[in-house]
Structures are given as C-alpha cells and as structure tokens.
Chain A
Amino acid sequence: MSSLSILLVEDEGPKCAHIEGFLKDSVSNLHIKNATSVNSALRALEEKLPDLLLLDMSLPTFDIAVREGGGRPQGFGGIEVMRHMQMAGLTCPTIVITGYEAFVRDDGPVDLSKLTLELQEEFPDFMRGVLHFNSTYDEWKKSLTETLSNLGVNMEAT
C-alpha cells in the first residue's frame, strides 16, 4: 500500500508538533512534509501535489530563519495559497486548521463558520473543511479524524 503524503503548512512550532504527533499516532504509512510560510507552501505544492494539504490560515511570506523575519505577515495566507492553487490549476483535498475562531477583516470581524462557508464557496473543488485548533482540548482531533475518514483515510483507533 502506498503511503499517504501530507503537506502540513504551519509556522507555529508547538501547533505543528501537536498535529504531527496526532497524525503519526492515528494514521499508518504516513509521509508528512512541512512548510512554514506561504512561499515554501507554494514551492512544495508546485513540486509535488500531496494527497492531503493541511493548511494554517495565518502565515508569514518567507520561512522565518536567522536574519529573516518572515517578510510580510499574511493574516489570510492560507487563502492566498488556495487562490494560487486555483489559478494554477493545482487540486488536492485541503483542510484548514486554524487556532482562530474569529478573524479581523476590513469589513469587520468574521467568525469561523462564516469563513468556512466563504471558503467552501470560493474553493469548491478542493476545500474539505475548516477545523478549529486548541491544544487544551481534543475537539480538533475528533474533527480531523472525521474529516480524514470522510476522505477515505484509514484511521487507526485514537
């Protein structure tokens, strides 16, 4: 059986560790690749489309490193990645995992449910769900398990 390839786009180390840890415990035969900025995500997607894209919403433009602060912070960097995918004709099942329950936009605050509807409308071909992440409770694990099962991923007992 071929392994499931996942591109995890997340710039926050602790959150990345939580998600990666959970996936490794839950899915066998897994290959996870990491990207920590919009640009590295775009590069990775263009290089090889993963079986699944797990995408954070708020991302820096460049990978943060020594002498690199990340460039322009993109509060909706996840959407930027998805728009790029759409325009470039890149399609793979995508799940947004965000720590935010509300977002600030020019037209006022928008909650996660509204954003989810907007994303589903804008990216109907590959958007599979928006999950809320908080390390203090396991709701996100349940949601992720469900979404992955719906995508046909064989989940081990978690």
Chain B
Amino acid sequence: MSKASHKKRGYVGQQNKIRGLISQFHSRKFKQGTSGVPVSTIRSSLRTIFLESRVVLRPNQFRNFLEWTEGQIESQIPEFRKLFIGYDELRGVSVDAPDAKLATELKWVSERIRVERNRINIFRTQAIEVENLTFRGHFESAIQKLESIENECGASFWSIQLRIALEHHAGGLDRQKRYSAKVRRIFRRGLLTFISFHTSSRNEDKATIRNYLEVVENRVENHPHYDSSIKTYLYYKLGRQSPKRPSGFSDILKVEQSHSLIDLYETFVYAIQEILRRDDLSEYRDTVAECLNSVDCISDYRLTKAQLFLHGNFEHKALAERDHLVSDMLIAGNVKKSLLYSRHYFRASHPIDPWSLIYAGFGYANFSRDRHLRRGSPGDIPKLIGCVASRADTAYDAFSQLSKLTLNFCGLPSTVGVRDLLEQIYGRYPDNEIRPWIVGLNSPTIGVEDIPTQWDNYSLDSSVFSKAVTPTTVSWDAFRNPTGESELPSQDTRVFIMAGLLRAKLFAEAIKVVDHIDTEANLEPTKALATFGRLHAKYSIGARQDVIDLLVKEGTRGFGRRKLLPIQKSLENYVWHDYKSMSSRMSAAIALHLLWSENDSRNTESLLRFATREFLEKLEAGVPSSLYDHADEYPRNELVYFLRRVCVPKFMDHATAFRGTADLMEERQKICAMLRFLDPVNSDEYQLEIAEIAQRKAMIDGQWIVDRTRIHVDTDALKRWAKKEISESFNRYVDLLDIDPSVDVDLDQILNEIMAEPVVPSNPTAPKTEAEVVLVSLLKQLGDQFLENPSFGLDFYLSKRIRHQSFVGLIRGPAEFTHLITTRESLSGEYRRNDHWLRKFENIERESLAAIDEAFLRFSEKFDAILGFAKNTKFQIRSNQHRDGLVYLQLYQRHIYMLSKVSSEYTTLSEFVDLVATMLWTSVEPSLSRVRKYICEDIKTNIVQSFDELRASVRKHAGNQSAAFLELDPVIGQCSADVQAQLDVAAQWFTRVLDLNALQQVFELEQMVNIAIESSLRCQRAFEPKIEKTISDGDVKMAVSTLIFLHDVLFVALDNVRAHSGLKRPKIAITARIDQQKETLELAITSDVSRNVDLDLAGRNIADIQAQIDKQEFESKTSIEGGSGFVKLAAVATQHPMGNIEFGFQNGGEFRLGVTYSINIESIPLEGHGE
C-alpha cells in the first residue's frame, strides 16, 4: 500500500473517530450530571484523536481535518462548546501520545490555534487587561479578570500560575497558600498538583530562584512516574528553562496538547520566540514563518513582532509607535524630567511596553541610593532595574528580585521582555550577544530598538516612524552603524556605539570608546554598562590578564558589583599561567577567590592557596599583617578584600611563615585588627572575629590544660598528709643533720624496699649517715603516698582521669560514631551484630554476609581487647597486683645523694615535701615516657592492624567494586586515621605539665563550663545529650585548679547520665554559680531518666555510695573504675570544710548532682602550687 493511500485512509479513519465521538455524545450514555459518560471523557477522547491525527495526517491535511471537525462539532453538538470547562482540561497528560517532529508539531498547533481563533482573541484581549491591572497594582481586579478568563475558556496553567503570583501580592503568603491548596485539592494526582505546589513555593518571599530551581530539579529528576518529555515540560513550566535540543520543544508542545487551549497557545508563542532567539534553531524559522501565516487571524502583537523579525517588511500600522519621550529626555541628560514623564506613562491605561520599564529603570539608576524592596511587585520593576544598573550594594538583591518577579509573572509578555534584556547585560557569559530587538518581541509597540542589525537596508525612514530623528533614534542608529559619523546627543550616548562595536566584533575600537566613556561619561548606568562592555571586549580578544584585572577591580568594590559579574564563565578556562603572568600577585589571589566563591571547586581552591602562598612569600615577614606598613601601595578596596576574604586560615595555611594552628590564629587576629582601621565600616565584624578567635584559643588552652593535668598528684594534700604523719620523723631528720654521725647501713637494701626495680649503684661514694637512713624512710613513705594515696596520689588521678572511661571513650569514639564497632550484650557476652553496616551488604550471598558479620565481630572484640589490656594491665602503678603496670618510681642512689645534699637548705616540712615531690616527678618520668611509647607504637600498630584486617576481610567477601564496600572503605580509612590521632592525644595525657605560665592562666566560668563539656563529650563521642546551661559568674575569673575540678565533676556527671539514664539524647541542665561571699563554686547537673530505669534499685545504689562518702571510705573505690565517680569527686570536694556533694532523684524523676567546691577568688590558687 502506498504511503499516500495510507495517509488518505488515515484521514478517513480520523474523521470516523470524530463521528464516533459525536455519536457517543448524542447517545443516551452521555447525559451531563448523570452517571453516564462524563463530559471529561469526551474531551479526553477528542484530545486523544487530535494527538493521533498530528502523526497520522499529512501537514497539508491538518487544516481541512481540523476545520471539518470544528464544523461537525458546531453543527451537530453545538452545546459541547458551551459546557463549563472548569479545571477539566488540567486533568492529566495523555502519556501514550505518539511523538512528532518539531516542524510537524508547530504546524499542527498553529492550525489548532487558527481553528480556535475566536476564543484566543477573546483571551488575548482580557490578558492585556490583566497585565495592565497588574502593573498598576490593581491585583484584586486582575484576579477578577483571571476568573472571567477561566469562566470563558476554562482554567489553565497560565491562569493558575499567574493567579498564585497575584494572590501573593494581593493578600500575602497566607492567601496565596490557601489558593494553591484549593487548586491542589481538585485532582489528587497529575501535573496540576505538582505545578501549583512548586509555583506556590516559588512565590514565597524567602524563596530564591537558585534554590528553588535546585529543589525542582531534584524533585523532577527523582520522580518515579515522569518520563523525559514530562520532565522537559516541567522545567519549562516551572523555571522557564529552555530545552537544549529541538526534540525538547516537541516534548513541551506534545505534553501541552493535553492541557488547556490557552496553555497551548502561550507555549506556541514561547516556542516560536525561542526559535527566533536561538541561532541553533534557525532551521525552523521557515516553519515558523509558515505557522505565523496560519495564525494571522490572531490579534497578538507578539505574533506581529515575530513576523517583523522574520520578514523585515511588515505592516507597521498594526502596531502603535513607541513613545520615546522618557528615553529622549534620559539620553539628553534630563534625568529628572524623564522620570517624571515615566510616572505619567505608567498611570495611563495601555499595554505595558518592556522598553518603557527599561528606560524608566535606567532613569532611576542615576539616583544611586540603595533600595530594599521586601516584596517588589511588577510595578516596581523600573526601580529594581535602577538599583541593578546603579551597582549599589543592594544591586544583586534587586537583580534576584527581578529574576523572581519576571519568572513569577512570566505569563505577562512585558516581564519576558525585561528578562531578555537582563540576560543580555547580566547574563552568565562575559560576551553575551547584544540583540535589543529580542526585547521587542514582547513589546506592543514598534520602535527603532526592534530593528535587527542584519537589516542592512534599514534607515530612519519617515514612512516607518513618524518622528525619525530624536535622541533615541539617533543613539540606536549609532548602535546600528557604530563606525559611522553620528552626531551624538551626549557623551553618555557613546555606550550605544560601544554596544554596536561589540555586536560587530570590533573589539579594539570598542575598548577605545570605553576609555572615552570612563573619562567623560556623566551617568552612573553608562559607566556600569561600559564596564561590562570592556569585559566583553577584553575577554573576546583573549586579553586574559586584563580580564582578571578588571574583575578584581570591579569585584572588590562591593557585593552588588561582584555578584553581577560573569566571573565563573570569564575565568573558568584560565590556567595558572594566566594568573602567574599578572603583575600583581595579590590580584591573582583575589581573582581566584572570586572564582572559588562562585564554583566552590577544589582545583580553584588549590590554585588560590598557591597564589596566596606565592604572594606572601614575597613579603618581608611572609605574613599578611606586614602589609599594614605598605597599605598605601595597594588600592584600598583590593587590599581590604584580600585581607578580609583571602587571608583566612583555610587559604593561607600553606604559607611558610606559619608553623601551626596557633600561628594562624594569632595572625588572623592581627589581620582583623588591621582591618578595623582599613575598613572602619565593618569594624564591629572584625572586632567580633577577634573575640571569637580569643574564645577559641581559650578553649584550646583549656583543653590542653585539662589533658595535661590528667597525670597529677595533689601536692597540697600530700603536705597535709605529711604534716599529720611524718612531722616527727622530719624533725628528727633535721636534728640529725646537725649531728651527722656515720652509721654502717646498707643503703642499697633500704632503697630496694622503696623501689620496684633494683637500684643501680651509680654513686659508689654514697653517704651513709643516720640522717640519711631517716631520709630514705621519709622518702619511702612519701613515695608510697605520692603513687598510691586513694585521695590524692597518682593512681587516684590515673583512675579518675584516664582509666575511668576517658581513655576508652576517646579512642573508641570515632569507631562508635561511624558504627564500625558494636558493644557486648553483657559484660562477658557476645558482641551485638553490626546491623548498621550489614544492612548495606544485604544483596550479597548468605555465606559472604556471614563472613562479613564475623569480621565485624572480630574487629570489635580485638579493638576492645587492645584497649582493655592497656587500661587494666599497662596503665597501672606497678605492684604485686599489677606486675605489668608501666608506672613506677625509678630512684637511684644519686637521687638520695642529691636530696641529702640539698635538703639541709630546707628547714620546713612543706619545703621538704616540695623538694621530694619534684624529685619523685623526675623519677616517674621514664615511666610516663614508656606509656607514651606504648600507646604510640604498640597500641597504634595493633589497632591499625585490626582496621586493616576488617578492610581486607570485607573486601575479600564483598568484592572491591561493591557499592557497600566502596561506601565502607573510606569510612574505615578515616576512622583509622581518627583513632590514631586520638591515640596521639591520649599519649600526651601522660606528660606532666611543666609550662608554669600555662597554669597561671585564668578563665571565665562560662569558658570553663564549655571547655569541660567539650572535653568530656570528646571521651563519650557517641553520646549526644541536649545540654542547657545557666551560668552566673559575677565577672570573676578563676584559676586552672577550678577548671580541672569543674571538668572532673562534669565528666563524672555526664558519664553517669550516659551510663545510667537509659536515654541516648537525654536533656541535661547544668547550672554553675559562684558565691563570692562564701568563695565557693556551686554546680548542679540535672538530667532526664528513662522510665525503664528501676528507680528502687538505683536508689539503693545511691544510698550505698552516700554511705561510703559519709564514712570517708575512699580507699576501696578511688583506684578502681566503674561506680566510683561520685566517691572520687567527694574525695576531692570534701577536703575543704565548705565543700559538699549531694545527689539523688528528685520528685519529677530527674536525677540531680550538686557539688560545692571551695575556691579562692582573690589569690587564684593553682592546683599543687597554692596555699
């Protein structure tokens, strides 16, 4: 069968389908308002026949078929067209509609529009009224007019989207939301709900177009039911995003044919305008011309303008001539008059011309005050354009508002025209094509701006325009003939020549004109446009250093200017060589920062760091603060930008002058101090940053102090013990020193009693006197207390500050946080299954899954075993009970000798104890070094091995390409690194602080509480309480000893809540208060408790602990871990009569711990160095 006969049969077939549909309408089955076939089904069937017809029929059959169909409907079922449509045409999309090529779609749609010309013409007349009312701020009337259009033609996406915007301006968010909710209730599914919901969010005051488009993209791309044609359609409908390929326009037109005639018409206009805008679609322009001929019966200036564009000869009388009074006065330099006239113009009722909005806007730009319009309406468009063109600080906000307004009101042609101009001036590219006539496609008037430059034979012909020679026409003529000899009305008009030269790609000439403008122009918008012109020209000729220089100069002069520049597209292809060749390396760094702020790229970040480093290397001191003495050598705005934004730790930390974090922080403070003078407008901001860095430094110092005082012996308490227990022996020793008789004593033997390791006889001439025998005895007793006293000895602090959760919590933290490790079901039970990670491997074979499960269990077991062994066996005072303990005194004869030699100088017991304590610390140092080595080498190696085993095992069973493994591997790697870093931290705990300056630091109470909380939670990382603080410090600063005690209290309190509250995220209220009269610090920690906690059992445990504290039974608890925290706190707090501790459940079921600690506010005592 021939193709022609097939199409012929197709034609008849489609006619038969129409006949069948009419019969169905006539039949008894259909009766409106009954349960028969609803009218929506008839409409839907008609849509389906039409969608089929456009591919079944030949294009030259379209008109006959559609006219025949319309004739059938009119003659046989005239009531069908009179039926109320309501929202019926937005019911859904015919998903099975066949695809057609773009040319076919355009021809088919144009014929459909031709057939429906009467309805379209009625719609257009009313739409112009809607636009008028909207721009004059008569939103309620505009809404009424929309309702009238809907009653006549049915609801459309055009009317709904416009109405949402109008409702928002008429009655705010609340009313807009009510309307969009009402629309969404009409059909629960389909595009109506989706489009109205997202249009509504687009109109919200706080919505930004960039974020909105991201959300839409995310929703559309991840929608399970939308095919690619619907996705393309939604991008157009919701974001006015033009498809990349012609097939995208076919998709949009295809989907739109399932909707209202109005939507189809508006989308048709959009498609033909896009074909005229875009050169890559020029092959469709002949089809467009054909289509425009088909719809010449439609009265719409947009179609007339499209014809004008395509043919170059048009019946100009079809359009009113553009009123140029505003632009004439503006170009002639009479700005105030131009604005006055533009106000008159907008008060009158006539179709809105985008050029009138634009000219008025450039008039406003000359009054460069910043404008903050919270919710600009379409009538504010000139003011917003003015703000953008003035390059004021709020220019970018105004630009964002304009983008939003022109999108929300894109159903009104004039806003589309404004949008087109904004794209050309402030588009993403530095060399946007300048085509003012594109704006005119949406203008109801005809003017010189609308004549494309490619019309070579055009001239200011009085047969086209009644007033051929005006400042406006002369200026635009200069644009069209930039090399000609135009008599310009003013220097500012040179900007037209500049644009014309750029359009003609005569860039060198354009630059010369820009140079003139820079020196001679008077109006701010002219200068602003000249900047964009210069960028365009420099970019186009490849003058890369000039482009960088210009962006730096302009970009550092304020937020508004910066954000309007096409930085990303200008610089995206530039390489290091381009920046390296800059005469000013500071400019290179600034340009890279401008680029990085836009693209957030790691590569740019690397370049930026390198450029900053290179620049700083050249400075005398290698640091930015040294620029202070040379501030006059740099443009102020560039210097301020560089110091403020580039010289932050993140970008300058590769500079060789900085050896560490502290250097960086200190330098940043100096920079901020400099900036306070260089940029006084933002002085408060810099002052705040200085204060924040100071706080951060205090936190770091505080953390360091907390960590360095974990190894501790309370020397004051040791003295008090000595006074009570060994005063007599000490006095005897002092007496014997005067006599100094020789005795025959085996000093080595006595020393061996003191020490865990045999003495190495290092001093053969060791003195052997009775005094020395007493001395050794004193030393032994003090040494025992120093190491093992249950209230103040080294083991007490080892237990309280290291073995008690801190160490295990710190090291286990990263593994818990990443869910790599699980806990045991009971103290000696099996480890819990690692469901968190195993769930991700659920697609692999059962045996492999079991093997991975086993690998995780083995990892948890080994990890905890390593830490448990270290804590229970190695971090102990060596004794019979702990033979492998790493901590013990190493005293040698030389120590005794030295002590005997110098102790005669000390006459009081207190001084003697100080001396002995110093010596004991010296002798314990090798032990601490051993522990550090053990952590950094043995533990670290074993722990890393356990991570590597886990990795290897999972890899073996899951394969190294499985998605779950690829997710797990970096987590293991990072966790391993974090654990190693924490082991380094823990190793440093075993270092006794020798920096006395650090211990003399003072802290505010709030700083102390923050340091203590942060430090405590660092050791309980998977625990996430919600903490509220109430702090009243009375402006008092306190010494390190208070910080340490406060940390101990909060650590015990938080650990207690973690272990016993039964909640993962309990609420904790911390109150800290200083009583200056009593000289006490009062702490109260109140926390939630799970209802599952057995309060009776807990109450009994509390009573037991309280009893031990009351009886001062500290020995049995203070060297062990678990259930001993409160006893350890009591051991310290109650050493002073004012000290106190109380704890228990409150009436509301919360648990409360209250501690009172004696502080000496005036003298600021230091732990171990006071009183």
> CB of B527 within 8 A of chain A?
no
Interface string of A75-117 (1 = CB under 8 A from B): 1100110011011100000000001111110000101000000
- A72 engages B609 (CB within 8 Å): no
> CB of A147 within 8 A of chain B?
no
- A83 engages B656 (CB within 8 Å): no
- A58 engages B965 (CB within 8 Å): no
- B948 engages A67 (CB within 8 Å): no
Residues of A close to B609: CB separation below 8 A: 80
Alpha-carbon gap, A76 to B609, bound state (A): 14
**Nearest Cβ in chain A — how far from B652, in angstroms?**
11
- B940 engages A13 (CB within 8 Å): yes
Residues of B close to A26: CB separation below 8 A: none
- A61 engages B654 (CB within 8 Å): yes
**Nearest Cβ in chain B — how far from A151, in angstroms?**
26
- B602 engages A76 (CB within 8 Å): yes
Which of A27-35, A123-131, A132-140 contacts the other chain? A132-140
Alpha-carbon gap, A136 to B947, bound state (A): 10
**Nearest Cβ in chain B — how far from A29, in angstroms?**
28
> Known: A43-B656, A102-B966, A109-B967. Is A83-B610 also a contact (CB below 8 A)?
yes
**Nearest Cβ in chain A — how far from B1015, in angstroms?**
14
Alpha-carbon gap, A42 to B948, bound state (A): 29
**Nearest Cβ in chain A — how far from B632, in angstroms?**
30
> CB of A39 within 8 A of chain B?
yes
- Chain B residue at smallest Cβ distance from A12: B980
Of A12, A71, A88, the residue contacting B664 (CB under 8 A) is A71
- Chain B residue at smallest Cβ distance from A83: B606
> CB of A152 within 8 A of chain B?
no
Residues of A close to B961: CB separation below 8 A: 111
- B965 engages A101 (CB within 8 Å): yes
Chain A count of residues within 8 A CB distance of the other chain = 43
Most chain A C-beta atoms within 10 Å of own C-beta, residue among B654, B664, B704: B654
- Tally inter-chain residue pairs, CB-CB below 8 A: 114
Interface string of A55-81 (1 = CB under 8 A from B): 000100110111111111001100110
Alpha-carbon gap, A84 to B974, bound state (A): 24
Residues of A close to B967: CB separation below 8 A: 102, 109
- A101 engages B960 (CB within 8 Å): yes
> CB of B970 within 8 A of chain A?
yes
Alpha-carbon gap, A64 to B974, bound state (A): 16
Residues of A close to B658: CB separation below 8 A: 39, 62
- Chain A residue at smallest Cβ distance from B968: A102
Alpha-carbon gap, A101 to B948, bound state (A): 12
> Known: A13-B980, A15-B944. Is A87-B660 also a contact (CB below 8 A)?
no
Alpha-carbon gap, A12 to B535, bound state (A): 49
Which of B395-403, B412-420, B809-817, B949-957 contacts the other chain? B949-957
- Chain A residue at smallest Cβ distance from B984: A64
> CB of B659 within 8 A of chain A?
yes
- A68 engages B970 (CB within 8 Å): no
> Known: A80-B609, A134-B948. Is A66-B576 also a contact (CB below 8 A)?
no
- Chain A residue at smallest Cβ distance from B952: A136
Residues of B close to A111: CB separation below 8 A: 960-961, 966
Residues of B close to A62: CB separation below 8 A: 653, 658-661
> CB of B937 within 8 A of chain A?
yes
Interface string of B653-681 (1 = CB under 8 A from A): 11010111110100000000000000000
> CB of A7 within 8 A of chain B?
no
- B970 engages A14 (CB within 8 Å): no
> CB of A38 within 8 A of chain B?
yes
Most chain A C-beta atoms within 10 Å of own C-beta, residue among B610, B658, B991: B610
- B606 engages A80 (CB within 8 Å): yes
- Chain B residue at smallest Cβ distance from A73: B977
Most chain A C-beta atoms within 10 Å of own C-beta, residue among B649, B660, B704, B952: B660
Interface string of B367-408 (1 = CB under 8 A from A): 000000000000000000000000000000000000000000
- A13 engages B653 (CB within 8 Å): no
- A99 engages B973 (CB within 8 Å): yes
- A109 engages B970 (CB within 8 Å): yes
Alpha-carbon gap, A83 to B948, bound state (A): 29
- A66 engages B951 (CB within 8 Å): no
Of B602, B610, B951, B965, the residue contacting A134 (CB under 8 A) is B951
Alpha-carbon gap, A62 to B649, bound state (A): 12
Of A13, A38, A58, A66, the residue contacting B973 (CB under 8 A) is A58
- B649 engages A134 (CB within 8 Å): no
Residues of B close to A38: CB separation below 8 A: 654
**Nearest Cβ in chain B — how far from A111, in angstroms?**
6
Interface string of B1018-1060 (1 = CB under 8 A from A): 0000000000000000000000000000000000000000000
Of B610, B661, B937, the residue contacting A13 (CB under 8 A) is B937
Of B650, B980, B981, the residue contacting A69 (CB under 8 A) is B981
- A109 engages B966 (CB within 8 Å): yes
Residues of A close to B944: CB separation below 8 A: 12, 14-15, 135
Alpha-carbon gap, A107 to B602, bound state (A): 12
Alpha-carbon gap, A148 to B948, bound state (A): 24
> CB of B838 within 8 A of chain A?
no
Alpha-carbon gap, A14 to B937, bound state (A): 8
- B664 engages A136 (CB within 8 Å): no
Residues of A close to B662: CB separation below 8 A: 67-68
Residues of B close to A58: CB separation below 8 A: 973-974, 977
Alpha-carbon gap, A70 to B974, bound state (A): 15
- Chain B residue at smallest Cβ distance from A132: B960
Interface string of B1070-1091 (1 = CB under 8 A from A): 0000000000000000000000
User: CB within 8 Å of A: which of B866-918?
Assistant: none
**Nearest Cβ in chain B — how far from A139, in angstroms?**
10
Alpha-carbon gap, A69 to B973, bound state (A): 18
> CB of B927 within 8 A of chain A?
no
> CB of B936 within 8 A of chain A?
yes
Alpha-carbon gap, A104 to B970, bound state (A): 7
**Nearest Cβ in chain B — how far from A77, in angstroms?**
11
Interface string of B952-990 (1 = CB under 8 A from A): 100100001100011101100110110011001000100
Residues of A close to B941: CB separation below 8 A: 13-14, 17
> CB of B603 within 8 A of chain A?
yes
- A101 engages B955 (CB within 8 Å): yes
> CB of B424 within 8 A of chain A?
no
Of B606, B649, B940, B973, the residue contacting A84 (CB under 8 A) is B606
> Known: A83-B603, A83-B606. Is A103-B970 also a contact (CB below 8 A)?
yes
Alpha-carbon gap, A38 to B948, bound state (A): 24
> Known: A39-B654, A67-B662. Is A99-B976 also a contact (CB below 8 A)?
yes
- B988 engages A66 (CB within 8 Å): yes
Residues of A close to B57: CB separation below 8 A: none
Alpha-carbon gap, A83 to B977, bound state (A): 23
Interface string of B595-622 (1 = CB under 8 A from A): 0000000110011011000000000000
> CB of B491 within 8 A of chain A?
no
- B940 engages A71 (CB within 8 Å): no
Residues of B close to A70: CB separation below 8 A: 661, 981
Residues of B close to A86: CB separation below 8 A: 576
Residues of B close to A104: CB separation below 8 A: 970
Alpha-carbon gap, A83 to B603, bound state (A): 8
Most chain B C-beta atoms within 10 Å of own C-beta, residue among A64, A72, A102: A102
- Chain A residue at smallest Cβ distance from B967: A109
User: Beyond A71-B661, A109-B966, A109-B970: 8 further Cβ-contacts under 8 Å?
Assistant: A13-B980, A14-B945, A14-B980, A68-B662, A83-B603, A99-B976, A135-B948, A137-B952
A-B contact pairs, 27 of them (CB 8 A): A13-B980, A14-B940, A39-B654, A42-B654, A61-B653, A64-B981, A68-B660, A68-B662, A69-B661, A69-B981, A70-B981, A71-B660, A71-B661, A76-B602, A80-B606, A83-B603, A88-B610, A100-B970, A100-B973, A101-B965, A102-B965, A109-B970, A134-B952, A135-B948, A136-B949, A136-B951, A137-B952
- Taking Cβ atoms with an 8 Å cutoff, the residues of A that contact B are 11-15, 17, 38-39, 42-43, 58, 61-62, 64-72, 75-76, 79-80, 83-84, 86-88, 99-104, 109, 111, 134-137
Q: Which 10 pairs show the lowest CB-CB distances between chains A and B?
A: A102-B966, A83-B606, A14-B944, A100-B973, A68-B660, A102-B969, A136-B952, A101-B969, A135-B948, A136-B948
